């Protein structure tokens, strides 16, 4: 492993090549398994990102506070404090896309990760090429959301039944109660709301909302739909068996 002169807890990869005139995006990788962290960082570095690595939970929180990264790659199982607590703390400071890495593949673990603010997850083992594609897709969604918010008017709020979605402020209300959604949950809800009554397959939702297609993607969609139902009501998103999902329009 290279970079042995750096402190064991944090290793920063510098001198990243980036397109001429572009400001490199910064990523914090919080992962305690050095071979995985180094492989992820090397791949992201080759893609033009500035990368900082932290090998425990407290250091990960500190690095995110110091660097204000554009995205965080976060392992679920960490020394010090686990990835769920790290995710809660960094999301409390500022909204930032989080791609969670987990060796566990149970629905409960995935839902908990999404509930604390993770936008997407990958189950170990994974390919660094796929991870890089996920990172690019997450950042494209952030850019599209910013462009959309800049284009809409202050009173551009979508209403369906008791649901209201303010695109500019990315705030959601059920009646008078505001509900906190993760960035991905908001993007999925906004997509379905603006196309209420239309049925989309999981693959179509992956392409439109997440910006990629892969074998593990359908579970990602299912987990986010379950999270939306838990927060907004079980009848908000309808399952069309054998096809996919649709947002219900009240009669």
Per-residue confidence band for 53, with pLDDT thresholds at 50, 70 and 90: very high
Per-residue confidence band for 12, with pLDDT thresholds at 50, 70 and 90: very low
Exposure string over 161-181, b if 16+ CB within 10 A, otherwise e:
bebbbbbeebebbeeeeebeb
CB 132 within 8 A of CB 47: yes
In the numeric block, the tokens 């907004």 are attached to 232
Q: Is the pLDDT of residue 2 over 50?
A: no
Interatomic CA distance for residues 102 and 219, integer angstroms: 14
Query: In this predicted model, what pLDDT tens digit does every residue of 83-111 receive, in sequence order?
Result: 999 998 998 888 888 999 988 766 666 66
Region of poorest pLDDT, from 7-16, 28-37, 114-123: 7-16
Average pLDDT over residues 8-28: 53
Average pLDDT over residues 6-34: 61
Q: Where are the domains of the chain?
A: 10-143, 153-247
Q: Is the pLDDT of residue 41 over 90?
A: yes
CATH topology of domain 10-143: Rossmann fold (3.40.50)
Question: Spelled out in words, what is the top-level CATH class assigned to the domain 153-247?
Answer: mainly alpha
The region, left, alpha or beta by phi > 0 then psi within -120 to 50, assigned to residue 33 is beta
Rounded (to 5) percent helix, strand, coil in the chain? 40, 20, 35
For residues 138 and 23, which has the higher predicted lDDT (pLDDT)?
A: 138
In the numeric block, the tokens 């690095």 are attached to 63
Per-residue confidence band for 208, with pLDDT thresholds at 50, 70 and 90: confident
Question: Which pTM does this prediction carry?
Answer: 0.71
Compute the radius of gyration of the chain from its Cα atoms: 19
Interatomic CA distance for residues 207 and 84, integer angstroms: 27
CB 120 within 8 A of CB 220: yes
Interatomic CA distance for residues 220 and 120, integer angstroms: 7
CA-to-CA separations, 238 to 162, 209, 220, 226, 244, in angstroms, rounded: 16, 17, 17, 11, 9
């Amino acid at each position: 492993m290279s970079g042995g002169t750096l402190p064991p807890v944090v290793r920063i990869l510098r001198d990243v090549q980036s397109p001429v005139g572009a400001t490199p995006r910064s990523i914090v990788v919080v992962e305690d398994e050095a071979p995985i962290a180094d492989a992820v960082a090397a791949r992201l570095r080759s893609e033009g990102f500035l990368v900082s690595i932290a090998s425990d939970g407290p250091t990960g929180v500190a690095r995110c506070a110091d660097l204000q990264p554009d995205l965080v790659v976060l392992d679920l199982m960490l020394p010090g404090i686990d990835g769920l607590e790290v995710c809660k703390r960094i999301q409390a400071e500022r909204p930032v896309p989080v791609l969670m890495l987990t060796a566990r593949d149970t629905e409960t673990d995935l839902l908990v990760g999404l509930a604390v603010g993770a936008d997407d997850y990958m189950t170990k083992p994974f390919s660094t090429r796929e991870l890089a594609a996920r990172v690019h897709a997450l950042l494209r969604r952030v850019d599209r959301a910013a462009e959309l918010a800049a284009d809409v008017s202050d009173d551009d709020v979508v209403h369906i039944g008791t649901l209201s979605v303010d695109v500019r402020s990315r705030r959601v209300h059920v009646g008078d109660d505001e509900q906190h959604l993760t960035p991905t949950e908001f993007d999925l809800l906004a997509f379905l709301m603006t196309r209420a009554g239309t049925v989309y397959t999981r693959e179509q939702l992956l392409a439109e909302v997440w910006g990629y297609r892969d074998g593990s993607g359908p579970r990602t969609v299912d987990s986010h739909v379950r999270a939306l139902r838990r927060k907004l009501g079980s009848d908000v998103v309808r399952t069309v068996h054998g096809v996919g999902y649709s947002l219900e329009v009240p009669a």
